[in-house]
Amino acid sequence: MSLSYSRRKIATAYLFILPGLLLFLIFVIYPIAKAFQMSFYEWNIMPGKPNEFIGLGNYIRAYNDPIVRLSLTNTIVYTIITVPTGMILALLSALLLNQIRRGKVFFRTLYYLPVITSWVIVSFLFRYFFQSPKGILNNLLVNTFHIIKEPISWLQNTPTAFIPIWALGIWKEIGWAMVIFLAALQTIPTELYEAAELDGANAWKRLINVTLPLIRPTLVFVLVVLMIGGFNVFTSVFLITNGGPLQRTEVILSYMFHQAFDYLDFGYGTAISFLLAAIIIILSFLQIRFLRKPEEII
Amino acid sequence: MRTKLQIIISALMILSVALAACGPSTPAAVTPVTVIETREVMITPTPAPEGPITITFWHIYSEAEMNMLEDTLIPKFEAEHPNVKVQSVQIPYAEFRRKLLTAISGGTAPDLIRSDIIWVPEFAYMGATVALDELMPDFEQYANSVFEGPLATNFFNGHYYGLPLDTNNRVLVYNKDMFKAAGIEAPPTTLDEFLADCEKIKQLGEGKYCYADYGTYAWAVNPFIWSFGGDITDPNYTVSTGYLNGPNTRAAYEFLKKLVDEGYMHPGILGGGLDAWGGFGNDEIAMILEGPWFPTIFGTEKDYGFALMPAGPGGHISVVGGEDIVMFQQSQHKEEAADFIRFILSEDSQVAMASVGQMPVLKTFAEPGSPIDLDFYGIFFEQAKTARARTPHPNFTKIEAIYQNAGLAYLRGEQSFEEAFNAAVAQIDPLLKLEP
């Protein structure tokens, strides 16, 4: 029992980590490893029944599956549309909010509300808004504002069926990104703005030359996190269109879900999700590698 | 001092997790009181061998039906079988199959379920369910007392994997107010009359639809396909070429396309959301196909009537729905579960469920002197004589998705009938062939 003080400290740390680590191993690492194994099999969901090893069969099938390609395209388009739009709107609201003196907490709460509302409930609401011919949105456009003559069949066609999905994604992103940006903005020393002002920089130049460079690490962080979220879009698609009409709004995760849980093709489903994981890991790595300066990488 | 305390606390945390994981076999070590408390909370109590047995019954009953089951039938069963408790679990239809399959793969399937008839072959093919004709010595007696159509939905590979619990089918429900406004006196008896009535209903103006359904899945389109004399597969469910893309099926889809193109059909069939019951109630939709649950859930304030599915060249053929009671291999209490099956198929239980909208399966109930309301159920018993079941095949879910998409592509005008359905049968035919 002659452990040195620092050894004891380390032992304590490990003991504290252990319960969480065990839970992590059992409920996160084990399922991932199991799923990885499943992706090489024609998996039988009955316990005790034999599973047929088919090597890369599921991955080859995914590569040749036109719906996998379509859903991958849809996922990428979703990310390209929602992430930059969400970030720009979030940055704008953060800049505005950073300047007002009164009601800051009120507006911050207001913008953050979408983040804490349930995806499920809002998805259902969006589906009702976009119903045709008698949804609320059609009613507003046709009867109240007379912008269009005939109601639009939003959910029956692409690309209009994507609009509620994109809109919901952006609406959800803004609040979260704004709070992060706000925190970053508050770390910028006011002297820098004063100095810039003395040098004759206007508001736009101050934004470009002072604000943005200084919150760059935050921008990259938000970009990476939102991109991962974008690639993982599922709930809104599942509940608003369920991949329809004719599988045209299917995204990677909804297609994976249908394969695994409707058609019981768990091997194929897991293969699709590992393809998605590979894409996300590569993109995140590239983003961090090229968008962050070397000194910012921990 | 502080470090020591930290070590003790963390050790206790680990110990509590370990104890909870070990379960009841872990001896109660000499440990502080807090640990013992954690352990008591986290361990699932193991039932004592002599105590009551619990059988789990998953179902998709509506509110009124579930109340009847839980407040009347289960207490009665438990009084007759003091050793058995029945746990009723209600799960929404959309989640039922997924949740069940997850439970099966985890080895925690319920003892019994009220299964959509269309899932029974799939579960049997997977080897998940019990052949009741092997388990129950008195199976014949029950098989003989129920309608043959619903009974047949339990048959797979030479055995019966369930017993019918309730049956239903879709009949035409028509909106009397709209019929009156359009000057139509009686509900259509043929599909030609149906079309003529649709023209009159269209004259009622913008936003008035003759007919509505939610999509092109089997439950919606099969009555039209069959009534036109078409079919999905041959009678033995081995091939779809020549049936699903045959001339009679084609006539049915052309009929549906006409309804869409002329604006008789609510566009909701093409996707994008529809509230058919709401539209029916607001005099926007004149006709829908519905089952015997309709009055219980929709209400009886609106003036509407029931009629048989309008006849085409193939007759007035509707689709059979309903549920079978099915037992799982993973059940630990098969005998008790079989007792519950006998109980729920008894005349009293069937009468009770009929009072809340469940159409009974006992043959005697369709005859004069029936203990149930034949004024109401009569039309459904009449329709049941010709109604048919959707393809009873383990791959039904995939097969249905294929022709649902083909039908949608055709109705939307994106593909010709040949393009859509020749491609569909090419996909469906291999699915019909089962690996042994």
Say if residues B168 and B322 touch (Cβ distance below 8 Å): yes
- At residue B8, the pLDDT reads 54
Please report the pLDDT score of residue B226 as a whole number. 94
Q: Is the pLDDT of residue A213 over 80?
A: yes
Separation in Å, CA of A154 to nearest CA in chain B:
7
Q: Is residue A19 part of a domain?
A: no
Name the DSSP letter for residue B334: H
Give the chain B residue nearest A248 (alpha carbons): B405
Give how far B354 is from chain A: nearest CA, Å. Answer: 32
Q: State the pLDDT at residue A151.
A: 78
Hey, is A146 helix, strand or coil? Answer: coil
CB contact under 8 A, A47 and B105: yes
> B98–A262: do the CB atoms touch at under 8 Å?
yes
- A270 within domain boundaries: yes
CB contact under 8 Å between A19 and B14, yes or no, is: yes
- B206/A contact by beta carbon, under 8 A: no
Residue B42, pLDDT above cutoff 70: no
Provide the shortest C-alpha distance from residue B107 to chain A (in Å).
7
How would you class A226 by CB atoms within 10 Å of its CB: exposed for 0-12, middle for 13-18, buried for 19 or more? buried
A12 touches chain B (CB under 8 A): yes
B406 touches chain A (CB under 8 A): no
The residue whose two tokens read 């991949």 is A243
A23-32, A96-105, B85-94, range with the lowest pLDDT: A96-105
- Residues of chain B found within 8 Å of residue A155, distances taken between Cβ atoms: 271-273
Partner residue opposite B14 with nearest CB, options A18, A128, A154: A18
CB of A264 within 8 Å of a chain B CB? The answer is yes
pLDDT surpassing 60 at residue B7: no
Nearest to B65 by CA among B298, B234, B281, B293: B293
Say what the pLDDT of residue B423 is: 94
Contacts of B271 in chain A (CB under 8 A): 155-156, 241, 244-245
Q: Does A69 touch chain B (CB under 8 A)?
A: no
Q: Let me know if residue A149 belongs to a domain.
A: yes
Binned at pLDDT 50, 70 and 90, residue A2 comes out as: low
DSSP E strand stretches across B254-400? 285-290, 304-307, 320-327
Tell me if the pTM is above 0.90: no
Pairing between β-strand B155-156 and β-strand B112-116 as defined by DSSP bridges: unpaired
Q: Per the domain annotation, does A11 fall within a domain? A: no
Domain count of chain A? 1
pLDDT at B3 over 80: no
Q: What is the pLDDT of residue B385?
A: 81
pLDDT of residue A26: 93
Mean pLDDT of A34-50: 84
Query: Is A131's CB within 8 Å of B273's CB?
Result: yes
- Residue A283 covered by a domain: yes
Inter-chain CB pairs, A–B, below 8 Å = 87
State the nearest Cα–Cα gap between A229 and chain B, in angstroms.
Answer: 25
Search chain B and give the residue with CA nearest A124. Answer: B273
Chain A residues inside the 8 Å CB shell of B7: 8, 11-12, 15
User: What residues of chain B lie within 8 A of the CB of A134, using their CB?
Assistant: 207
Work out the pLDDT band at A256, boundaries 50, 70, 90: very high
By C-alpha distance, the chain B residue nearest A43 is B105
| pLDDT at residue B19, as a whole number | 43
Mean pLDDT of chain A: 87
A246 → closest Cβ in B10, B13, B408: B408
d(CA A258, CA B428): 18
Cross-chain residue pair B104–A154, CB shorter than 8 Å: no
For residue B96, which amino acid is it? F
Judged by CB atoms closer than 8 Å, whether chains meet at A245 and B10 is answered as no
Residue A54 lies in a domain: no
Find, among B179, B237, B250, the residue nearest to B211 by Cα. Answer: B179
pLDDT tens track for B202-246? 999 888 999 999 999 999 999 999 999 999 999 888 999 999 999
pLDDT of residue B186: 92
Q: pLDDT tens, B133-176?
A: 999 999 999 998 888 878 888 988 889 999 999 888 999 999 99
**pLDDT tens digit sequence for A131-166:** 877 788 888 888 888 888 877 778 888 788 899 999
Residue B17 CB neighbours (<10 A) = 17
Q: Do A246 and B409 touch (CB under 8 A)?
A: yes
Distance from CA of A127 to the nearest CA of B (A): 8
pLDDT level of residue B295 (50, 70, 90 thresholds): confident
Print the domain residue range for A191. Answer: 63-296
Q: What is the CATH number of the domain that holds A275?
A: 1.10.3720.10
Among the ranges given (A170-179, B96-105, B247-256, B266-275), the one the predictor scored with the smallest mean pLDDT: B266-275
Higher model confidence: residue A245 or residue A20? A20
CA B241 to chain centre: 27
Residue A43 forms part of a structural domain: no
Inform me whether the C-beta atom of residue A160 falls under 8 Å from chain B C-beta atoms.
no
C-alpha torsion sign, points A258, A263, A268, A271: positive
Judge whether A200 is closer than 8 Å to chain B, CB to CB.
no
Q: Is the pLDDT of residue B396 over 70?
A: yes
Compare CB distances from A156 to B10, B17, B272 and report the shortest one's residue.
Answer: B272
Residue B151 CA to residue B148 CA, distance in Å, equals 5
Q: Tokens 């052949």 identify what position?
A: B131
Residue A30 counted as domain residue: no
**pLDDT of amino acid B43:** 41
Which range among A86-90, A124-128, B304-308 shows the weakest confidence by mean pLDDT?
A124-128
- Residue B199 reports pLDDT greater than 50: yes
**In b/e form, how buried is each residue of A77-95, taking b as 16+ CB within 10 angstroms?**
ebbebbbebbbebbbebbb
pLDDT at site B229:
94
| Smallest CA–CA distance from A26 into chain B, residue | B21
A156 to B397: CB separation less than 8 angstroms, yes or no: no
Cis peptide before B188 (omega within 30 of 0): no
Q: Which of B19, B9, B17 is nearest to A24 (CA)?
A: B17
Q: Cβ of A49 and B127 within 8 Å? A: yes
Give the DSSP H or E segment for A243: none
pLDDT tops 50 at residue B31: no
